[in-house]
Amino acid sequence: RTDSALYAAKAAGRGRTVLSSSPRHGLSRDLLVALDDGDVGVALQPIVDLATGDVVGVEALARWQHAELGAVAPTDFIAVAEESGLIGRLGEAVLRQACADALELQRRWGRPVDLAVNVSGRELVDDGYGRRLRATLAEVGWPPTQLVLEVTESVVDASQLVALRELARLRSFGIRVAVDDFGTGWSSLSRLDELPVDHLKLDRSFLTHVTSSPRRTAMVRALLGLCQELGIDTVAEGVETADQAALLRSLGCPLAQGFLLGRPAPVAELALTAPVRTTAPPERRAG
């Protein structure tokens, strides 16, 4: 059914398919079929309050199991969706599934969670995006005040006036905005105070060597301080070790996400875990 398999190579050790740009258009037809069949799924990754260890939110991450290629990396099929004009449909499918999953989590846990979804720049500037988003939320019964839209730095770049205006409008309905992968671009540090932004997700590259390099630590401390003064909640991304979590906690980082705190998982799996910590946080247990 597809010849894209011919070009695909399994990424070493990760069990995911990484694609060069050439076979991507071969995939768009398969992605269209997958969207028609409801085969694009969602994994949820916990976002944790570092002070208490409680899960306060989840990020929805798109998942696609291709019949021949296996699990395709989101960065690959998101690019395919953007290039082939399917990103709006994909975003809508992910949002619907994510809301249903988050409602299920809330029922199982008996407490509210925030839901973060990723929005591509292309999707955001599409005519009527905000109207459709709000209609979907109303239809599935997810409160706008518990939704966080994650956009990357380039989307909140000064030149993206349409995107900025749309985000500002959505915020007026109680939807929050997060700058994703912060620190991987250069544009927004000087503009943080004027951006329509509630959360900043510190890219996981900041955590590399953070526990061993005083300079790295200083940068993270300064960014956390800046965000705190601006009233922006920081989420540290890619927390993989207990040392990183302990350091971030000591620096006053409010929120974190990463393999240490919980891997992306289907809602049924996540619902089985405890949302509230009943024992001491890991570094205190370790003594």
65 to 31, 77, 88: CA distances (angstroms): 10, 11, 19
Residue 23's binding partner out of Mg ion, ligand C2E, none, with CB under 5 to 8 Å set by partner kind: none
247, 35 contact by CB (below 8 A) = no
Give the count of alpha carbons within 13 A of 273, CB side only: 19
- Quick note: the x/- pattern for ligand C2E over 43-62, rule CB under 6 A, is --x---------------xx
* Binding segment toward Mg ion, per CB under 5 A, in 45-53, 88-96, 112-120, 240-248: 112-120
Whether residue 269 lies in the annotated active site: no
Q: What are phi and psi of 84, to 5 degrees?
A: -100, 5
Q: What span, in angstroms and rounded, lies between the C-alpha atoms of 108 and 101?
A: 10
Give the footprint of ligand C2E on residues 140-159 (CB under 6 A).
150
Tokens of 3: 């010849």
180 binding Mg ion? (CB under 5 A): yes
Nearest distance from residue 115's CB to Mg ion, in Å? 12
Place of tokens 């798109």: 62
DSSP character at residue 259: T
Alpha carbon distance, N-terminus to C-terminus of the chain: 56
Single out the residue of 104, 52, 106 nearest to residue 276, CA to CA.
52
Q: Among 137, 146, 181, 202, which residue interacts with Mg ion (rule: CB under 5 A)?
A: 181
Q: What span, in angstroms and rounded, lies between the C-alpha atoms of 91 and 88?
A: 5
Catalytic residue among 59, 194, 237, 283: 237
Pinpoint the alpha helices (H) of 58-213: 74-83, 87-109, 121-124, 129-140, 161-171
DSSP character at residue 96: H
184 binding ligand C2E? (CB under 6 A): no
Nearest distance from residue 242's CB to ligand C2E, in Å? 12
Nearest distance from residue 267's CB to ligand C2E, in Å? 15
Tokens of 25: 């258009």
Give the count of alpha carbons within 13 A of 74, CB side only: 15
Q: What span, in angstroms and rounded, lies between the C-alpha atoms of 254 and 99?
A: 24
Strands 55-66 and 114-118: parallel
Q: Among 4, 17, 97, 118, which residue interacts with Mg ion (rule: CB under 5 A)?
A: 118
210, 216 contact by CB (below 8 A) = yes
- Quick note: the x/- pattern for Mg ion over 139-178, rule CB under 5 A, is -----------x----------------------------
Of 126 and 193, CB closest to ligand C2E? 126
181 binding ligand C2E? (CB under 6 A): yes
* Binding segment toward Mg ion, per CB under 5 A, in 4-12, 40-48, 133-141, 199-207: 199-207
Nearest distance from residue 230's CB to Mg ion, in Å? 19
Q: Among 259, 268, 269, 286, which residue interacts with ligand C2E (rule: CB under 6 A)?
A: 259
Give the footprint of Mg ion on residues 200-259 (CB under 5 A).
201, 203, 237
Contacting residues toward Mg ion, per CB under 5 A: 118, 150, 180-181, 201, 203, 237
Contacting residues toward ligand C2E, per CB under 6 A: 45, 61-62, 73-75, 78, 91, 94, 118-120, 150, 180-181, 204, 238-240, 257-259, 264
Any idea which residues carry the catalytic annotation?
Answer: 237
